[in-house]
């Protein structure tokens, strides 16, 4: 399978569904409640048109850019996602794939691999934190990340962890103990290739989060243990966020901005970047697709800080649309997880190659020589498409 080429991200998703146990795959596709937001994240991109040009095209198209203090080969960053148990190497495979393709990786504090190991595999590691635990514990996590070689911080605020899913929430065990293994054995047996890949490494799917507590502390909390810590932590104020930003002397991003007023407060808090996001449809269901409110946020603060988009990217033309409407780069989540599930590290590299080729093809068709040439004039925006969230209906 290592040499198998996947043509599209949609095909990577089909392969992931075919290969993964039912509950594992369900965890990758699920959004909160009715799934209105997760569906609109994708559908909104299809409503946008692109403007083609026929002649005087450049023979080369430039995709490299600089975001979060990092020179990257294309305007795509790996978004942090927790406990990547779809593959034994998990975040390490993703980190190596990203390094091989010259892009940065966001590593979740809920990851199944340590920040030390991931930063060693990719020198452009951005460590993602939640407002979780005491202030001393938060600072200790960031100091540990810096010591490991992380080059930036992503503070994620757009998360409510809703289990209310109309199609049923996947069952995720507290830990893979003998009782859980017996319960999920029928699902695993139905996916022998996935099971064999774990079996030959001598490891079972790891649901612990080694980046929450100091290195070597035994035992590391499980995903739900870390979630319980988050639940018990009082949500931050903007003053708290400004304080946390002051504890890190490098690039600092807030992930989860959807409103202009919050984007301006992020600027006031001193951050260097924001990700316009709705947590991939896993936060407040009914929030519009993220591309619908990107332009309003970018117009308000894009000349002061970097603006990224996170949510719904499935092809290179989606990246181009986001950049044309004000993003400096995009972050991807489900797309690379499907690649990881389909073919490990090679599958993630494959997904990044699909996006790179799609960006190049779109730039060629639009007559541009660089992603820096993109502007709103390149996009056909239907009437009623934009949904700036600070504007009364």
- Tell me which residues are annotated as active site: 279
Sign of the four-CA dihedral 240, 241, 244, 249: negative
* Strand pairing class (65-67; 70-72): antiparallel
Residue 277: strand pairing partners: 310
Check if the beta carbon of residue 103 is closer than 8 Å to that of residue 352: yes
- Main-chain dihedrals φ then ψ at residue 147, nearest 5 degrees: -60, -30
SS (H, E, C) 9-22: HHHHHHHHHHHCCH
Residue 237: partners with Cβ closer than 8 Å, 6 or more residues away: none
CA distance 173 to 26: 14
SS3 185: helix
Sign of the four-CA dihedral 291, 104, 139, 217: positive
Check if the beta carbon of residue 111 is closer than 8 Å to that of residue 80: yes
CB atoms within 10 A of CB 17: 16
Task: Pick the closest to residue 379 from 326, 306, 328 (CA basis).
Answer: 326
Task: Pick the closest to residue 90 from 203, 185, 190 (CA basis).
Answer: 203
Rg of the chain over all Cα atoms, to the nearest angstrom: 20
Task: Concatenate the DSSP letters of all residues of 262-287 into one string.
Answer: HHHHHHHTT-SEEEEE-GGGTSSTTP
Q: Residue 107 belongs to what H/E stretch?
A: strand 105-107
CA distance 387 to 249: 35
Task: Pick the closest to residue 289 from 34, 76, 29, 43 (CA basis).
Answer: 43
């Amino acid at each position: 399978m290592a040499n198998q080429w996947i043509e599209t991200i949609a095909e990577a998703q089909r392969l992931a569904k075919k290969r993964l146990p039912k509950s594992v795959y369900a965890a990758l596709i699920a959004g909160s409640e009715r799934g209105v937001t997760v569906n609109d994240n994708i559908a909104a991109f299809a409503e946008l048109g692109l403007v083609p040009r026929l002649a005087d095209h450049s023979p080369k198209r430039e995709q490299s850019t600089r975001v979060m203090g990092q020179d990257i080969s294309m305007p795509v960053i790996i978004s942090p996602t927790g406990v990547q148990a779809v593959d034994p190497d998990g975040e390490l495979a993703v980190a190596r794939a990203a390094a091989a393709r010259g892009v940065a990786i966001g590593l979740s504090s809920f990851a199944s691999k340590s920040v030390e190991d991931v930063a060693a595999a990719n020198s452009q590691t951005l460590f993602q934190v939640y407002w979780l635990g005491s202030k001393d514990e938060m600072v200790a996590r960031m100091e540990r990340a810096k010591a490991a070689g992380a080059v930036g911080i992503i503070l994620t605020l757009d998360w409510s962890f809703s289990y209310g899913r109309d199609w049923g929430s996947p069952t995720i065990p507290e830990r893979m103990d003998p009782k859980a293994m017996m319960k999920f054995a029928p699902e695993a047996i139905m996916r022998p290739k996935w099971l064999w890949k774990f079996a030959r490494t001598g490891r079972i799917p790891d649901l612990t989060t080694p980046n929450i507590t100091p290195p070597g502390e035994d035992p590391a909390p499980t995903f739900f243990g870390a979630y319980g810590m988050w639940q018990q932590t009082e949500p931050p104020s903007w003053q708290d966020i400004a304080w946390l930003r002051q504890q890190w002397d490098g690039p600092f991003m807030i992930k989860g901005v959807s409103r202009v007023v919050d984007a301006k407060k992020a600027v006031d808090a001193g951050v260097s970047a924001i990700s316009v996001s709705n947590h991939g449809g896993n936060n407040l269901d009914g929030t519009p697709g993220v591309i619908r409110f990107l332009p309003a946020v970018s117009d308000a603060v894009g000349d002061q800080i970097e603006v990224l988009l996170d949510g719904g990217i499935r092809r290179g033309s989606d990246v181009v649309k986001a950049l044309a409407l004000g993003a400096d780069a995009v972050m991807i989540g489900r797309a690379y997880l499907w690649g990881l599930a389909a073919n490990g590290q090679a599958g993630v590299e494959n997904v990044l190659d699909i996006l790179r080729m799609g960006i190049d093809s779109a730039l060629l068709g639009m007559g541009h020589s660089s992603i820096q040439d993109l502007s709103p004039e390149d996009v056909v925006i239907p009437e009623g498409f934009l949904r700036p969230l600070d504007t009364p209906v």
